[in-house]
Structure 1
Amino acid sequence: MDPAQRGIGHAIGRHALAASHAAGELMVVLLGRTWVVQDGVYSPTGSPSTELCTTALPYPAGGSFLEIGSGCGVTVVHALLHGCTTAVATDVTPQAVANTRLNAELHGVDDRLDVRSGSVFDPLDHGDRFDLVFWNAPSLLDAEDPEVSNALSRSYFDPGRQGLSAFLSGLRARLTQGGRAFLGFDDLGDCVGLRALAAEHGWRLRITACEVAPRRAVVEGRPIDVEVDHLLYELFPGRGPQPE
């Protein structure tokens, strides 16, 4: 990945995280509903990715849903309001776990949602499998920034690609027969590297939704305006050409 592009991505990520830290508790409106965003949890209105992915996912009627990195809970709650019977959400941030539970209660789906604390698939039981698995993953795969040290920073940064590697290596064991998997990402990160990493673990990627949005970064004291592609990928088993 080009070092200049990486620097811009890191600057945007740090700015977004600083804004989340400064905002405190918020009430936001998204997808026609009001959501509580508690202190220490990344806001789903910080970029278009939450709305893009949440509206594009094919929720299985009567099926089960797993969301990795639920944040304040918008997507997993939406899934339960749009066809899924049961859902599990995991998040590495204790504040996000509590926030997801709060919004599930607010929208009346808490009796069908199990929220667990931990990284990627770690909180799941051995036999847990789902009809739909989704993660709106951090796009900055290889951050080495010393500021990336708290749990909230996982919204943007995945140092050493540890999270994505765990997701891609453990995904097959978490899908039901015929189950589907989706990954949110953006081109602030290394999309070519993502495809290569997916191929290493036996997965191909296909873009199923995309939205381009302007973002501003400050690099070495200079403001830079960039357009960011927010992407939703579906994952398919295999190492051949990417599916059309």
Structure 2
Amino acid sequence: MVSWRAGLRLVAMAIWLVGCVTAYYLVAILPGRNPVPPVFLAGIAFIAGVEIEVRGTPPRRAMLLANHVSWMDIPVLAATARSAFVAHDGLQGHPILKRLCEMNRTVFIARSRRHTVADQVAQLREALEVNHVLTLFPEGTTGTGDCLLPVKSSLLSAIDPPPEDHDGPVPIVPVLLAYEDAPDVAWGDQPGPENFIAILSRREPVRVTVHFLPPLAGEELAGRKAMAAAITAHLSDGLNAAGLSKTPALA
């Protein structure tokens, strides 16, 4: 049963969606990235009761590699970094979700077909030219928020070597999402719709600190396995500093 609080938030989200879709098509004729999708996602975070604190400086041009805890990661990173996202192609099977992803210029990748890596590199470069900031979740799935799941180096194939644009190699930036009540708000084994309603039913806000860490440099960029090891180390250190446990590994 949906609580009254979740019901009100769902209504507010529906109204916000209609308004933002209308605005999206009104400004769609303008060149460059449509500014509405990140604003829409930021509004979803606000309506859901997410309170965001930022540590470090959100980059204006970067490939972000973040730990993955919840569906809230998407609106949180859109709100703080105006990021678009890299997602697995399985989402293309959901028409409404697919269209919303496309409006935010999501890059869909086929994780199980290695021969598509060259195409994925081209897609990332094209997306970065328009979006300037893209986020990839290298764990490949959501965790409980109080530890880091194995970083899958195979998911980094499309950024090995880092893609370039007219300004040179795009910075690879680790991002730590530290939720105050991580195990309570994380997806974990909970079905997606159930978790979504549980978040909207909360009386207390969902507090998350977004740590934008220094870009990878030097030997940390020497191949996807080196990048995976560096991301594991930086995010694990961040989890420890935030008072959360770490159980990182490479895959």
Question: TM over 0.5, yes or no?
Answer: no
| TM-score when normalising by structure 2 | 0.33
1 or 2, which has the higher helix percentage? 2
* Bigger relative CO (Cα 8 Å, ≥ 6 apart): 2
More strand by share: 1
